[in-house]
Amino acid sequence: MPHLFTGARDTHSDPRALPRGTKLGQYKVERVLGRGGFGFTYLATSKERDGTVSKMAIKELFPDGVDRGSNQEIYPINKAEAEMFEDARNRFHAEAVALKKCVHPNIVRILDYFSWNNTGYIIMAYEEGEQLGKYLKKAFPNGGAPQEWILDIIYPLLDGLSHAHNQGVFHRDIKPANIFLTANNRPVLLDFGAAKQLNQSHRHRRGHNSMLVVTEGYGPYEQYTYEGMIGAWTDLYAMGAVIHTMMVGRCPPSAYEREYKAQGGRDSYERLSKRSALRQIYSQDFLAAVDWALERDITRRPQSNELWRSRLPQSRKLATTVVPDSRTILQKVTLPITKLLTGRLTDYTRSTGTTMAGTAMTGPGIGMGMTGPGMTGPGELPPPVPNPAGRSLVVGLIVLGAAIVLGSIILLIVETY
Ligand SMILES: Nc1ncnc2c1ncn2[C@@H]1O[C@H](COP(=O)(O)OP(=O)(O)O)[C@@H](O)[C@H]1O
Ligand SMILES: [Mg+2]
């Protein structure tokens, strides 16, 4: 088994971090917010022209195998690490560029990127709030978070995730510590880890000491292997694991352990939909959807966010745009148009039966664009029911378009004669 890095270290006192007051151009380092395997995250401030002070979070690339000199520059500790560090810098930059395109209220906003101190810095909007992980430990240490509350967090995160996936960016490290709840309860995905995984593929190629980055309990099995096929299903497994933690108070057993035990004939994951205590709190379709996301085999998991969300119960927020006296239509009419159309697209591609074997998923990467409804697989649940509201909307649009074209032709004929 390769060496696994499984979590951030506590390092507010790490002497290698930039000291408080350090100036990085216009930004002043205030304190360390976190230290993961690939760098420090600082809270920084910047003084605007009008005198106001704004806050931002700055991520400094500082992977294993480097150190900081007295002039604050970062240098690789030996020749073997030099190549790795060069590669990591390029990928860190590529990640910043890819993430900058992901402008979405539920994805941490990337403001800028620059190179300094022989390394890279990503400037992010600073969010006031709290890590979901910390919040859960206080509010629901034994699980049992209300279904509506969970859905109010999961739906916006899925929106953000779909947006990232459509740009070809996969998160790869979704867990409660990388979800931030802002003061006005907006959940935000932090810490996209493309650079981490790409860096690891480099190590593998070049025969360096192998190192995989995966958070036990949240990362699916494909993240434990170099050949693992990364896709929407990878992030959905982790989303399922986050919900598992909200419901049960702890994450599912590690995917590595599950795989190992399954080879002996017994998966150590206990299906939520079979647990009677949970069935009293959560709807059966919700529990089944979480079990689905947490399938070991990627072909048995939902292949796109849209497909998975179509099996989740409606969230309160989606159902709150009031349509008087019509509870039955409420769920359909309150879905935004894009979702209705996506629903159709999903139905269509499922029936065309595009399979994973036919798609290029040879390695992790930014910009591979290999998600979306085109990626479908056997899945455990039956195909989604076609959405009649979506269908009539499309038909309506076609009829309207045809009427406009016809009208223009008639006008043209009338004018000509
Ligand atoms: N944009 C941000 N706004 C506010 N806090 C942040 C922001 N980015 C990161 N943090 C805080 O710093 C911690 C570590 O950041 P993260 O990006 O997850 O890096 P890592 O896990 O590699 O240390 C987060 O859990 C969060 O508490
Ligand atoms: Mg993190």
The two structure tokens encoding residue 372: 């979306």
Segment 249-255 shows an average pLDDT of 98
Strands (E) across 210-336 are located at: 211-213
Opening angle at CA 199, ends 207 and 235, nearest 5:
125
- d(CA 145, CA 139) in angstroms, rounded, equals 8
pLDDT at 317 over 90: no
Q: Of residues 317 and 227, which shows the higher confidence score?
A: 227
- d(CA 266, CA 361) in angstroms, rounded, equals 29
pLDDT at 337 over 70: no
Amino acid at 347: D
The two structure tokens encoding residue 415: 């004018």
Going by the DSSP 8-state scheme, the letter that residue 380 receives in this structure is: S
Ligand 1 atom, smallest distance to 126 CA:
3
- d(CA 361, CA 228) in angstroms, rounded, equals 9
Question: Which of 108, 190, 197, 214 to mutate to test ligand 1, by most ligand atoms within 8 A of the CB atom?
Answer: 190
Task: Please choose, from the candidates 12, 23, 45, the residue with its C-alpha nearest in 3D space to the C-alpha of residue 126.
Answer: 45
Say what the pLDDT of residue 212 is.
61
- d(CA 44, CA 31) in angstroms, rounded, equals 7
Q: Of residues 191 and 258, which shows the higher confidence score?
A: 258
- Whether the CA torsion 48, 53, 54, 60 is positive or negative: it is positive
pTM: 0.73
pLDDT at 399 over 50: yes
- d(CA 179, CA 208) in angstroms, rounded, equals 32
- d(CA 49, CA 218) in angstroms, rounded, equals 44
Say what the pLDDT of residue 37 is.
78
pLDDT at 394 over 70: no
Write the pLDDT tens digit of every residue in 182-214.
Answer: 988 899 999 887 545 444 444 444 444 334 678
Opening angle at CA 285, ends 280 and 286, nearest 5:
75
pLDDT bracket for residue 289 (50, 70, 90):
very high
Which residues have CB under 8 Å from 108's CB, separation 6+? 57, 99, 124, 125, 127, 180, 188, 189, 190, 191
What distance in angstroms lies between residue 41's CA and the mean position of ligand 1's atoms? 6
What distance in angstroms lies between residue 60's CA and the mean position of ligand 1's atoms? 11
Write the pLDDT tens digit of every residue in 119-132.
Answer: 999 999 999 999 99
What distance in angstroms lies between residue 173's CA and the mean position of ligand 2's atoms? 8
CB-based burial, 76-104: b 16+ in 10 Å, e otherwise: beeeebeebbebbbebbbbbbebbeebeb
| DSSP-assigned states of every residue in 128-184 | -EEEHHHHHHHH-TT----HHHHHHHHHHHHHHHHHHHHTT------SGGGEEEETT
Question: Which of 135, 180, 189, 197 to mutate to test ligand 1, by most ligand atoms within 8 A of the CB atom?
Answer: 180
Amino acid at 137: K
Say what the pLDDT of residue 320 is.
39
Segment 33-53 shows an average pLDDT of 93
Going by the DSSP 8-state scheme, the letter that residue 107 receives in this structure is: B
Write the pLDDT tens digit of every residue in 1-18.
Answer: 333 333 334 445 789 999
**Residue pair 6/216 in contact by the 8 Å Cβ criterion:** yes
Least confident of 48-62, 121-135, 313-327, 347-361: 347-361
Mean pLDDT of the chain: 77
Phi and psi of 105, rounded to 5°? -60, -20
Write the pLDDT tens digit of every residue in 260-271.
Answer: 999 999 999 999
Ligand 1 atom, smallest distance to 33 CA:
12
- d(CA 272, CA 52) in angstroms, rounded, equals 50
Say what the pLDDT of residue 393 is.
56
What distance in angstroms lies between residue 33's CA and the mean position of ligand 1's atoms? 6
pLDDT at 275 over 70: yes
Closest ligand to C-alpha of residue 180 is: 1
What distance in angstroms lies between residue 341's CA and the mean position of ligand 2's atoms? 34
Question: Which of 6, 14, 33, 127 to mutate to test ligand 1, by most ligand atoms within 8 A of the CB atom?
Answer: 33
pLDDT at 336 over 90: no
pLDDT at 370 over 70: no
pLDDT at 237 over 90: yes
Amino acid at 416: T
CB-based burial, 249-285: b 16+ in 10 Å, e otherwise: eebbebbbbbbeeeeeeebebeebbeeeebeeebeee
